[in-house]
Each structure stands twice: as structure tokens, then as C-alpha cells.
Amino acid sequence: DAMVIQNPRYQVTQFGKPVTLSCSQTLNHNVMYWYQQKSSQAPKLLFHYYDKDFNNEADTPDNFQSRRPNTSFCFLDIRSPGLGDAAMYLCATTLNGTSGRYEQFFGPGTRLTVL
């Protein structure tokens, strides 16, 4: 089945130790998104790729970076995680993306714990 896969599902890191979360998709969607979701809150958009074009949200911390080496894969790098970065990180994809006419498909998420 076509899907969005996130690895790992659970990630534990130490304060200040870089961590990379990965997302892959078999849907061949051209738009990919990374969201941060804290407990009982709405998903907060960090950045997205429209094809290879990277779009950063104005309030995304500099600590967060992303790479999209090809259509299928997207990575979220947290350079120096702080305690406040502990959250669920969700990857999502959509097709075409022009004017957002289509639904988003979400991965199961990676829960990040910072010790």
C-alpha cells in the first residue's frame, strides 16, 4: 500500500545532541511537510517542500533544518535539541499542492524525548 513512513517511531536524545528524523513516501507526492505537535496541541507547521523548493515558516527555530534529497525522502535535523523540542514530529505529503486542493497524508509520527 502507498504510504508515508517515519523512522524511528520513538527517538530519545540528550540535551544538545544532534538528531535526525526521517520520512519516506511511496505516494510520489511532490509536496512534503514537517509539523511539530506538542501534547494536546494542534500540529504546527515547521517547513515544507514544494518539489525541491524549500519554504521555512517565519517562527521555526534556526535549530531546525530539513533536507529533501529526492521526491521520496525528507529529513528533519535538530542540531542542538533542547528540552522544549520534545514533541511528536509529523511528516505529511500532498499531491500537486497548488492552492492546496488535495488532502494531506500523514505518517505515524516520531515521538522525540530529550533528556
What are the residues binding another protein (CB under 8 A)?
4, 6, 31, 33, 40-45, 48, 50, 88, 90, 92, 94, 97-109, 111
In the chain, the amino acid numbered 58 is A
Under a CB-based contact definition with an 8 Å cutoff, are residues 93 and 105 in contact?
yes
- Cβ at position 52, least distance to another protein in Å: 15
* 3-class DSSP state of 4: strand
Q: What are the φ/ψ torsions at residue 84 (nearest 5 degrees)?
A: -75, -5
75 versus 79: smaller Cβ distance to another protein: 75
Give 49 or 81: the residue with its C-beta nearer to another protein.
49
CB 40 → another protein: shortest distance, Å? 7
* CA–CA gap between residue 32 and residue 45 (Å, rounded): 11
Question: Please, what is the minimum distance in Å from the beta carbon of residue 6 to another protein?
Answer: 8
